[in-house]
Amino acid sequence: MIRPRTYEEAAAAVLACGDRGSIARGLGRAYGDAAQNAGGSVLDMTALSRIRAIDTDAGLVVCDAGVSLHHLMEVLLPLGWFVPVTPGTRYVTVGGAVGADIHGKNHHVSGSFARHVVALDLLTADGQVHTLTPGTPLFDATTGGMGLTGVILSVTLRLLPVETSLMYVVTERAADLDDLMARLTATDHRHRYSVAWIDLLARGAATGRAVLTRGDHAPYEALPRRARRAPLGFRPVRLPAAPAYVPEGLLGRTGVGLFNELWYRKAPRRSTGRLQRLSSFFHPLDGVPQWNRVYGRSGFVQYQFVVGHGQEETLRRVVRRIAIRGCPSFLAVLKRFGEADPGWLSFPVPGWTLALDIPASLSGLGAFLDELDEEVVAAGGRVYLAKDSRLRPELLAAMYPRLTDFRELRATLDPRSVFVSDLSRRLGL
């Protein structure tokens, strides 16, 4: 592990890496092996964490790649600006957000993170720093390129103006998967953010039942009198940490089934106009330190795929198979993606994306997920590399049509394979 504190130290580390190469690492929130490099070096970029410039007139920020989205929110929200895209945790770095080309609940409106990047500085295998702009091959290979084109040093990001740090939230139940998809299709365009929690243990007529949540940034005039005193205050809720030891069976079918039933029943049939903190709307799990412990020592596998519009039957079939298999996932979300992003290995394409956590101890899980991969590939879909830990490499080219271009650019730019990770070795990237 190498922790550079300057751009020059990062360049020296890259030039001095051994035969097993190196890979940049942010805050370690990737679910798979994208920031691991067995036998080689890992560059911990979190010491490069300066916000270098803020243009409040143009809505731009220039920052080091090691700056977290949490820190950006702390600094920018009081100025009336918000990050344009955030995933389910704010504890990711800006460099990681670009490398994985993360998406959030607003992809149908705003696209992925890289769509809001105006420029970035990339350290390549020869020790040189290049300033990249959208629409160029190296920029499009880097956004979503999982750190394999070089080390992102700094990013210029376009921000989103907001009047308050509260969200205006609409919540409703959907009786089944078809009901949910119909509601999403009919109403997504009315809201900036939209996401649905799905009960993947429900079967029969209730298969795919869900709680649909939509949200928009609350305008100042929607705030009650007390909240108007500090409309842009950022005060995330923080609960006690998860216990160090949790019994393995806690999140089995019985436990998750009970949780799902309670969660669905407590959700309102329809609720409009509720105000909610940004942290609660976007990052509820960040309020529980080390929440992953609830899965026990065996941990969990995160699985996320997307299939295009017109492939709804594939989505129905996958949801039915998960329900019949009894995969106990209490964190299962469905979203609609908008226009595809230009990154060669960016995940989103127009259609439906389902993400779920499954206890790794579940019997036969590997073979079952391999079968789901086949369903996804047959429908022209793909899995998310930033969350993958087990995809078979022979399926990758069918999922990502620009894979050959990515490999060719890598071979030209980095002939010695300086930038390498366990993920890149496993998938032949």
**Whole-number Å distance between alpha carbons of 25 and 311:** 35
Are residues 46 and 93 in contact, defined by beta-carbon separation less than 8 angstroms?
Answer: yes
Q: Which region holds residue 340: left if phi is over 0, alpha if psi is between -120 and 50, else beta?
A: beta
Tens digits of residue pLDDT in 70-84: 999 999 999 999 999
- The CA–CA distances, whole Å, from 173 to 132, 160, 161, 211, 322 equal 44, 29, 30, 5, 20
Burial of 102 (0-12, 13-18, 19+ CB in 10 A): buried
Q: Taking CA 408 as the corner, what is the angle to CA 353 and CA 111, rounded to the nearest 5 degrees?
A: 30
List pLDDT tens digits, range 278-304: 999 999 989 888 888 888 888 899 999
pLDDT lower than 50: segments of the chain: none
For the CA atoms of the chain, what is the radius of gyration? Answer: 21
Q: Which two tokens stand for residue 236?
A: 């995330």
- Structure confidence at residue 248 (pLDDT): 58
| Per-residue b or e along 173-205, where b marks 16 or more CB atoms closer than 10 Å to that residue's CB | bbebbeebbebbeeebeebbbbbbbbbbbbeee
Tokens 């086949």, residue located: 374
Task: Return d(Cα 221, Cα 215) in angstroms, integer.
Answer: 16
* Angstrom distance (rounded) from CA 350 to CA 148: 25
Helix (H, G, I), strand (E, B) or coil at 427: helix
DSSP class per residue in 389-403: S---GGGHHHH-TTH
Tell me how crowded residue 382 is: count the other CB atoms within 10 A of its CB.
27
Structure tokens at 424: 């890149």
Cα of first residue to Cα of last residue in the chain, in angstroms, is: 22
Distance (Å, whole) CA 241 – CA 289: 5
Instruction: Tell how strand 166-174 and strand 210-217 pair up.
Output: antiparallel
| Cα–Cα dist 243/230, whole Å | 34
Q: How far apart are CA 141 and CA 134, in angstroms?
A: 10
Please give the Cα distance from 121 to 124 (Å, whole number): 10
Q: How confident is the model at residue 246, as a pLDDT?
A: 67
Q: What integer pLDDT is reported at residue 21 of this predicted model?
A: 97
Confidence (pTM): 0.94
Residue type, 200: L
d(CA 421, CA 429) in angstroms, rounded, equals 9
234 in Cβ contact with 227 (< 8 Å):
no
Q: What is the dihedral of CA 85, 89, 92, 96, to 10 degrees?
A: -60
- Report CA torsion sign: 105, 108, 114, 117: negative
* Extended strands (E) in 218-331: 270-277, 300-308
Q: pLDDT value at position 396?
A: 97
pLDDT reported for residue 34: 97
Distance CA 377, CA 137 (A): 26
